[in-house]
């Protein structure tokens, strides 16, 4: 008599998806379909890495020709081509994911309010020319004071959803929430990198990881005071950090770590929960005043990593 097959245990990735929206962090759109993420995030370095792959050469050439047709000078042609390639990759990603893709504004504009506003609107226009609604796009802006104010205007005046990145501090997170941005991306791994270098501590247990603790603090604060802004943990160094944040609104994860999670059957326990955040003892909101600008300017982690 044939022994009945035991039901296959859900992968760690599938278990995580029951608590958290999983987002693919890559420009290599051919690599993400197997993981079935809801959304995807990109940045210039990820697009650069993907652009060097032979299978994407035709897309790069398409962007170059677009730049040549639009720009009068070499600098203008390069700028148009760069914007176009970000959007081309975004379009391809949106054929795979059912949700949204994040497209980043040039980080050199991080302290230029007007520049960020103009660039964000031009990126959205490029998507709309291709029939993609702005509802499927998150514009990534740096979490500088100027970036946060740009996001506030884009959200309230133009209905453009923003993802605030390069976020290393609680002060930045509070300012983003008060500005009413759609989503923030606090960096877990890069905070860990700074602590390892600064303290000489070679390793941390996941729940003692400074980046994990930072995201947990932000998440709980947002839930305590009912902010609409959602938290997407980013910049992971290992799966331990990811699993320690199970229950976070979203987590954006690179292909290698997605693969590790998919091939693991480690049991996942939910660690972040809206009800836990609401039960915090803190009674008063923090205020996004000039003191928070100073807190950001003096943030050692941010100064060393941006």
Q: What is the pLDDT of residues 3-26, one digit of tens each?
A: 555 556 799 999 999 999 999 999
Chain mean position to CA 51: 20
The predicted structure's pLDDT at residue 150:
99
Residue environment code for 169-207, b if the CB has 16+ CB neighbours within 10 A, otherwise e = bbbbbbbbbbbebbbbbbbbbbbbbbbeeeeeeeebebe
**What's the pLDDT tens digit per position in 17-68?**
999 999 999 999 999 999 999 999 999 898 888 888 999 999 999 999 999 9
Cβ neighbours for 24, distance < 8 A, ≥ 6 positions apart: 32, 35, 37, 39, 40, 41, 97, 252, 253, 254, 255, 258
Confirm if 187 and 160 have CB atoms less than 8 A apart.
no
* Residue % of the chain over a pLDDT of 70: 90
Pairing of strands 230-233, 21-25: unpaired
- CA of 74: how far to CAs of 62, 64, 266, in Å? 17, 11, 52
Top pLDDT among 231 and 286 is at 231
Residue 140 is a catalytic residue? yes
Residues 6+ away with beta carbon under 8 Å from 69 = none
Residue 292: is its pLDDT beyond 80? no
* Beta bridge partners of residue 104, listed in sequence order: 140
In the predicted structure, residue 305 carries a pLDDT above the cut 90 = no
pLDDT class of 235 with cuts at 50, 70, 90: very high
List Cβ neighbours of 269 (8 Å cut-off, separation of 6 or more). 243, 246
Assign residue 200 a region: left if phi > 0, alpha if psi is -120 to 50, beta otherwise? left
Lowest mean pLDDT among 81-85, 205-209, 290-294: 290-294
CATH 3.20.20.70 describes domain 12-299: yes
Higher pLDDT, 292 or 54: 54
Whether the per-residue pLDDT at 145 is higher than 50: the answer is yes
Strand, coil or helix: 243: helix
Choosing from 140, 213, 223, 303, the catalytic residue is 140
Mean pLDDT on 138-153 = 98
Longest dimension (CA), the chain: 77
Please provide the average confidence, as pLDDT, over all residues in the chain.
Answer: 92
Answer whether residue 175 shows pLDDT above 90: yes
Phi, psi of 178 (to 5 degrees): -70, -25
């Amino acid at each position: 008599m044939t022994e009945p097959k035991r039901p296959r245990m859900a992968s760690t990735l599938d278990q995580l998806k029951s608590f958290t929206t999983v987002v693919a962090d890559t420009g290599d759109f051919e690599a993400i379909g197997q993981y079935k993420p809801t959304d995807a995030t990109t940045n210039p370095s990820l697009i650069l890495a993907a652009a060097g792959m032979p299978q994407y050469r035709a897309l790069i050439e398409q962007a170059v020709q677009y730049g040549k047709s639009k720009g009068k000078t070499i600098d203008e042609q390069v700028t148009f081509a760069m914007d176009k390639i970000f959007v081309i990759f975004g379009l391809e990603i949106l054929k795979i994911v059912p949700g949204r893709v994040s497209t980043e504004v040039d980080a050199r504009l991080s302290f230029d309010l007007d520049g960020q506003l103009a660039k964000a609107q031009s990126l959205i226009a490029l998507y709309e020319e291709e029939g993609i609604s702005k509802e499927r796009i998150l514009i990534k802006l740096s979490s500088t004071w100027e970036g946060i104010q740009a996001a506030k205007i884009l959200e309230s005046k133009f209905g453009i959803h923003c993802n605030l990145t390069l976020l290393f501090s609680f002060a930045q997170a509070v300012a983003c929430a008060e500005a009413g941005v759609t989503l923030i991306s606090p960096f877990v791994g890069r905070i860990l990198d700074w602590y390892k270098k600064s303290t000489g501590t070679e390793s941390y247990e996941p729940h003692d990881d400074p980046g994990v603790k930072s995201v947990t603090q932000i998440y709980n604060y947002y839930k305590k005071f009912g902010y609409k802004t959602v938290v997407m943990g980013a910049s992971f160094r290992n799966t331990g950090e990811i699993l320690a944040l199970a229950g976070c609104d979203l987590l954006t994860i690179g292909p290698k770590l997605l693969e590790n999670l998919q091939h693991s059957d480690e049991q996942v326990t939910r660690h972040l929960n809206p009800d836990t955040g609401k039960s915090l003892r803190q009674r008063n909101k923090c205020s996004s005043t000039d003191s928070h600008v100073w807190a950001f300017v003096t943030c050692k982690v941010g100064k060393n990593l941006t």
